[in-house]
Structure 1
Amino acid sequence: MEPSTHNPVQSHTIRRVLGPIHVWALGVGIVLVGEFMGWNLTIKQGGSLAALLGLWVMSMMYVGQVMMVSEMATVMPEAGGQYTMAKYLLGPLAAFNVGLMLVFEYAMLEAGDVIVVGQLLNSLNPDIQILPFTILTLLVLAFINYRGAQATLTLNFVITAIAFTCVIVLLFSTNFYDPQATLLQLKELTNGLPYGPLGIMAAIGYSCWFFLGIEGTAMAADECRSSSRSVPLGAIVGLATLLIGGTITWFVCSGLIPAGELGPSVYPLYDAALATGKLFVAIALFVGSILACLASANGCINDASSAWAALSKDTLLPNVFAKEHPKYGSHYRAILFLLPISLSFAMTGLLDQVVTFSIFSALMVYLLTCLMFYRFRQMYPLGTVKRSFLAPLFPILPLLVAVIVLCGLFGLHLNYGINLISGAIFYLLASVWFLKRRAKFIDQDRFLEAGLKLWGKPKWM
């Protein structure tokens, strides 16, 4: 049997080398792929106007989410993002579920990225074998993450900047600024709200795809030179980048592709580039789409392995996964363990199923984050714990975020109800396994020791 003690596992090897630009690259790099594919399901399920409304409503939710996470992450005694918050605010069972949900959110998003890379290559020539490229892509990205966070996020900054530049190139190629020469035909090609209010609800659920994973910036708090500055600044600038990019994406794609064709498109930005009839633009968006997928998968490996290692360090999983590389400081065992899981899902080619499970896992984490933030403010009111960043409008902020998340879950349920039920059953069974097989290894006092030492006893103790 494993000892029921907290395992520090060489946490001193993690190097504080990241700044706001790395946090921006981590957040935007994971999420930018949502502008190149997947987001157009909002048009398929809700219509053109519902897609735009869903984008802006969901952006409000993510602003609130980032504010709450930033306040909590910068005072947490250890890395792990929302997992660590659940650990100190909700207890072992909730921490296990949040950690598992984060792992599958990023692992499924990573699998979806690789699926799209394969489909893009296959669009050039149907005879191209997708599987070798899928395996090679994941192996290369896993090796980069194996070398440590700085190498991972420096690469993400470069390829994310290139991919975002491609979106801007597409925008200006349409001559949108000249009413006489513009290629955009929004009035003729959009379809408004064909499904009414229910269409808006469905679009809100899928609009997560524009921002899914931005909250993962909190995962890098322990590796930042100044987490109180880098995490909130990098995350907020990242959100602004994604909102601008998402609006441009909707504007350009809706003006170039009829709504009936845009909804089911596998790679809408690339299709929009083809619609311009300009070869250079088509090549740029093909390259941009590939790079966006690579940046996303690269960041997802970083976040999923961080969450898995955090679970292992606290004995919620076997502690073999917690070991860090002696030279690079990376969670190399977690990276190697999760690699075949993402690969197996990517090999199915079922993009919509993979995306749905990723979104469902993310929305459940967001809902629990609202509860964690409320509990944090109740346990440690303002003035009792030094906060480097203060989220505004408490308690309205967590309530508003929770309402939008519930609307998103309802919208997702309209078309993927069975998937949501299956996901809930999976996490329920995982919880039963945890209570029967892992809970006995946890020493409650040592589990919460770092938080109590840093903050003192909460208000009601």
Structure 2
Amino acid sequence: MSQAAQATAQVPAPGQRISLLRVLGPAHVWALGVGIVLVGEFTGWNFSADKGGALAALITCWFVGILYTSVAMIDSEVTSTVAAAGGQYAQAKHVVGPLMAFNVALYLVFAYTMLQVSDAILVGDLMVTVSATEGLTRHAFVVVTIVVLAWLNYRGVLMTLNVNFIITALAYASIVILFFSVQPWSQGVVLKLNELVTPENALPYGWIGVIAAFQFAIWYYLGIEGTTQAAEEVRSPSRSLPYGTMAGMITLLIAAAITWYVCASLLPWEYLGFTFFPLFDAARVTGSPTLEFILFWGTVLSAVASANGCINDAARAWFSLGRDRYLPTWFSAVHPKYRTPYRSILFLLPIALAFAFIADLNQAITFSILSGVLQYTFMSINIVMFRNKWPLGSIRRGYTHPFHPIPAICLFLLCAITFFAIFLGFGSQLIAMVIFYVIVSLWFHFYRYRYVRRGDQFTMPWPKPQGY
């Protein structure tokens, strides 16, 4: 049965509250997480080579991989237990409190909106580069990308993520095809890693360059935590969320390693740190028109899949704020036919378009990273509070992540390093964003919180937490 048919079959009676549909499985969770992130293999991560050299890009690839593995493990436990739209926002609301929840929701909305903007800019710039037509600008491509994907999200989550599964798989296949086409088992035939990464240029700026490279190495995996945003629309949260998230993380670790190996073996680190299209340029260097064609479409599809997932996630975080009266309840409306948070989708559409016209790719990526790292820092604290308030055995968990509190400690330390790296490159933007969050926190505390129905925001049937 199609999603439209399902929705029509479940049209609520007059006065009945309309809810989101539970129609997603593990494959959709995988498609949402990997779909958002995979564009980071096609662009973004390579700017870490500009900060510290090709070897720094590899070192940070694995350390940031540890950061995101910790994120995936922590998210899988808390979200499979708090299975509500908004993901980390719902976690913060139940574990920490309203002010933290409000801020976390804003982190999510800004991270996904600016990631969506980056994706649209990438599509536009690539189309302009390949067409080589004088006077052609990216603006029309940016508008078409964002508007069409917003319409797709408006029409339903099942259709949206089915599309994401297909285009994400195709984009991922393009990376694998490039990898095997350049004969990775025979260094020196096509790949020239020993010539391009030498002891003299491996770390051109020393170990401080490795620290600085953390800023853009985040782009290898940024957005995998987005799997939690669909928690309320998953048929079996305790099964689908952990399986889909961890499978997505494994997929991305493999893709990141392949991407670095091929690009560092074909492109000098100076150029690698400058280009917006590292995999596409690597395909062009091989001289194969077929590989160039495949990686062109792989880049486009990865950006479209990412923007598609970002619209889904940002809208659900904004919808959750409206449903709990943290923002006007107008935003909490669910479409009676398509069962999507359509007002939140439409509200965020012009905001994304505005940023796409005024920001460049580097700025959009940086703002997305900043909001993402603020959110990850919260998660390291949140899981410790969650385990302390509700120890194992006190409530039913869908999944229990191992080795606690090691993942939380690793996540916090790596976030601290990343904040320092961002300060080195974009200190003014970091300070401006912190000031912004302080101002909106004051607004929420002194004005907006009076409209919140405090008893309604806590939906989990848990016992009183330890120590209360």
Asked if TM exceeds 0.5, the reply is yes
2:226 is matched by which residue type in structure 1? G
Per-residue deviation, 1:169: 1.3
Match of 1:159 in 2: 167
User: Are residues 372 and 151 of structure 1, via their aligned partners in 2, closer, same or farther at CA, if it must alter by over 3 Å?
Assistant: same
Equivalent residue letter for 1:43: A
Q: Equivalent residue for 2:228?
A: 218
Which one-letter code corresponds to 1:460 in the other structure?
G
Alpha-carbon offset, residue 437 of structure 1: 2.2
What's the counterpart of residue 184 of structure 1?
Answer: 191
Spell out the pairing of 1:353-432 with structure 2 (5 A cutoff). 353-432=363-442
CA contact (8 A) 2:85 2:317 kept: no
Instruction: Identify the match of residue 151 of structure 2 among 143, 157, 162.
Output: 143
Which residue identity lines up with residue 352 of structure 2 in the other structure?
Answer: S
Query: What is residue 6 of structure 1 aligned with on the other side?
Result: none
Displacement of 1:436: 2.6
Q: What SS does the corresponding residue of 1:457 show, helix, strand or coil? A: coil
1:276 lines up with 2:286 in the alignment? yes
Q: Which residue of 2 aligns with 1:455?
A: 462
- Selected match of 1:168 from 172, 176, 186: 176
Cα deviation digits, residues 163-203 of structure 1 (max 9, x gap): 011111111221222346x3110111123111222111112
Task: State the one-letter code of the partner of 1:67.
Answer: M
| Corresponding position of 2:305 | 295
- SS of aligned partner of 2:252: helix
- Sequence identity (%): 45
Distance 1:339 1:413 in 2: 30
Q: 2:138 aligns with which of 126, 130, 143?
A: 130
Distance of aligned partners of 1:11 and 1:87 in 2 relative to their CA distance in 1, 3 Å threshold? farther
CA distance in 2, matches of 1:179, 1:201: 29
Is 1:255 aligned to residue 262 of structure 2? no
Q: Tell me by how many angstroms 1:160 deviates.
A: 0.4
Q: 1:348-403, CA deviations, whole angstroms, 9 ceiling, x for partnerless residues?
A: 24111111110010000000011111111111011100112101122222111100
Contact 2:187 2:193 in 1 (8 A): no
How far has the Cα of 1:129 moved from its partner? 3.2
* 1:6-33 Cα distance to aligned partner (Å, 9 max, x none): xxx9765321111111000000000000
CA contact (8 A) 1:146 1:328 kept: yes
Q: What is aligned with 1:84?
A: 90
Q: Structure 1 residues 10 and 65, CA, compared in 2 at 3 Å: closer, same or farther?
A: farther
Q: Are 1:29 and 1:296, in contact at CA under 8 Å, matched by a contact in 2?
A: yes
1:351 match: 361
1:322 aligns with 2:301: no
Normalization by structure 2: what TM-score?
A: 0.94
Residue among 111, 132, 151 paired with 1:105: 111
CA offset digits 1:84-131 (Å, max 9, x no partner): 001111111111100011000000000000011111011022432321
1:11–1:44 distance in 2 versus 1, CA, 3 Å: farther
Within the candidate set 246, 254, 258, 2:256 is matched to 246
Q: Structure 2 counterpart of 1:267, which letter? A: F
CA distance in structure 1 between the aligned counterparts of 2:121 and 2:260, rounded to whole angstroms: 22
* 1:77 positional shift: 5.5
State the distance in 1 between where 2:141 and 2:213 align. 32
Q: Does 1:39 align with 2:49?
A: no
Aligned to 1:443: 453
Q: Answer yes or no: is the 8 Å Cα contact 1:10–1:323 preserved in 2.
A: no
| Most deviating of 125-134 and 236-245 | 125-134
Is the CA contact 1:173–1:276 (under 8 Å) kept in the aligned structure 2? no
Give 1:59's match in structure 2, choosing from 60, 65, 70: 65
- More deviation in 71-80 or 102-111? 71-80
Correspondence for 1:121: 127
Give unmatched runs, 5+ long, in structure 1. 1-8
Asked if structure 1 preserves the Cα contact closer than 8 Å seen for 2:83 and 2:232, the reply is no
Measure the CA separation in 2 of the matches of 1:370 and 1:440: 29
Give distance in 2, aligned partners of 1:185 and 1:263.
Answer: 17
TM-score, structure 1 length as denominator? 0.95
In the superposition, relative to structure 1, how do residues 99 and 242 fare at CA in structure 2: closer, same or farther (>3 Å)? same
CA contact (8 A) 1:48 1:259 kept: yes
Letter in 1 for 2:283: A
CA deviation profile, 1:137-175 (whole Å, cap 9, x unmatched)? 111100100011111100000000110111111112212
* Cα distance, 1:459 vs structure 2: 1.1
Output the CA distance in 2 between the equivalents of 1:426 and 1:148.
33
